[in-house]
């Protein structure tokens, strides 16, 4: 029963979905204010999800039926697992299993892979184009993201358990404020996070003005709702991963809880600012940006970490 509670209620599906919807509302509300619009009401993300659940599910002719329908489910399941592991690492750091950081990195790729598989399974040319762009984007940002994440691991005496990484920062302070290598890695991780969330300027896989909705073009009803919910949950989970890795996570003691929440809010503000101040880049420009600049910068951060800086 305890395991079921963790994965279904807190800190699993229901908690992650609720906070993800709240983060999505903040994103939409702030964006609307920047554009001199009123923006949606607080419960609009929930209304949108419920509305999609009530719509008819249409499967395109010639599509791989079960692959098409199950792809969004696998993507959402992966992000629920990541969120649960992150919060359990903060709540019970001594019980985290060895190598959970590596498992989390693998799981964070699955939602994007689900989009790729679902897009190709639909047999729609525009969906296939969006899926191919998503694939290129993963190949572009994943290497610098992994290098950036392992920079604080090096500084924390090669701690590949989230609990050990948190304990190191509890004893020595927020890691990205202490070492130049971690500052560089944190900057790289933020840019990779923007691409992992496929937000402007890295939203080429679903560029509405070019390829309609990209890989999502043939989705409707509950499967589309699950994709949308997964995106909202990622808006909460991916920044929280960086909060734990680079900023010491959340300490559940008095005012430290508020300080931990403010760390996440700071990253959410950065995401919104980048989204609303940057033009969309082409997929070839995105690949060049990550391979030519972010990867080199991430390698510099790793080298500095090995040199003790």
Q: Provide the number of structural domains found in the chain.
A: 1
Q: What is the pTM of this model?
A: 0.95
Q: What is the pLDDT along the chain (309 residues), one digit of tens a residue?
A: 778 888 999 889 999 999 999 999 999 999 999 889 999 999 999 999 999 999 999 999 889 999 999 999 999 999 999 999 999 999 888 777 888 999 999 999 999 999 999 999 999 999 999 999 999 999 999 999 999 999 999 999 888 889 899 999 988 889 988 899 999 999 999 999 999 999 999 998 887 777 777 889 999 999 999 999 999 999 999 999 999 999 999 988 888 899 999 999 999 999 999 999 998 899 999 999 999 999 999 999 999 999 988
Q: For residue 6, report the phi and psi dihedrals to the nearest 5 degrees.
A: -60, -45
Range of the domain at 104: 2-306
Q: Are 34 and 275 in contact (CB under 8 A)?
A: no
DSSP sequence for 17-79? HHHHHHHHHHHHHHHHHHTT-----TTHHHHHHHHHHHSPP---TT--HHHHHHHHHHHHHHH
């Amino acid at each position: 029963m305890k395991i079921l509670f963790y994965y279904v209620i807190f800190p699993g599906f229901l908690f992650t979905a609720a906070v993800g919807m709240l983060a999505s509302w903040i994103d939409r509300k702030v964006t609307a204010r920047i554009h001199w619009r009123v923006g949606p009401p607080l419960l609009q993300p929930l209304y949108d999800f419920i509305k999609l659940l009530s719509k008819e599910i249409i499967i395109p002719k010639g599509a791989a039926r079960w692959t098409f329908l199950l792809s969004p489910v696998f993507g959402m399941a992966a992000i629920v697992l990541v969120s649960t592991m992150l919060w359990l690492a903060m709540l019970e750091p001594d019980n985290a299993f060895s190598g959970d950081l590596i498992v989390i990195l693998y799981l964070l790729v699955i939602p994007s892979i689900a989009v790729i598989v679902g897009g190709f399974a639909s047999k729609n040319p525009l969906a296939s184009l969006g899926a191919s762009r998503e694939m290129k984007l993963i190949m572009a940002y994943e290497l610098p993201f992994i290098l950036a994440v392992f920079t604080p691991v090096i500084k924390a005496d090669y701690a590949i358990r989230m609990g050990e990484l948190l304990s190191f920062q509890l004893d020595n302070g927020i890691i990205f404020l202490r070492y130049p290598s971690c500052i560089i890695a944190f900057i790289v991780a933020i840019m990779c996070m923007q691409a992992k969330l496929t937000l402007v300027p890295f939203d080429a896989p679903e560029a509405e003005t070019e390829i309609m909705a990209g890989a999502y073009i043939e989705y409707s009803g509950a499967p589309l709702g699950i994709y949308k919910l997964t995106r909202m949950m990622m808006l909460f989970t991916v920044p929280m991963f960086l909060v734990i890795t680079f900023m010491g996570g959340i300490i559940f003691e008095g005012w430290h809880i508020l300080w931990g929440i403010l760390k996440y809010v700071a990253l959410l503000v950065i995401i919104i600012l980048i989204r609303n101040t940057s033009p969309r880049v082409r997929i070839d420009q995105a690949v060049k940006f990550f391979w030519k600049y972010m990867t080199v910068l991430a390698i510099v951060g790793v080298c500095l970490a090995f040199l003790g800086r």
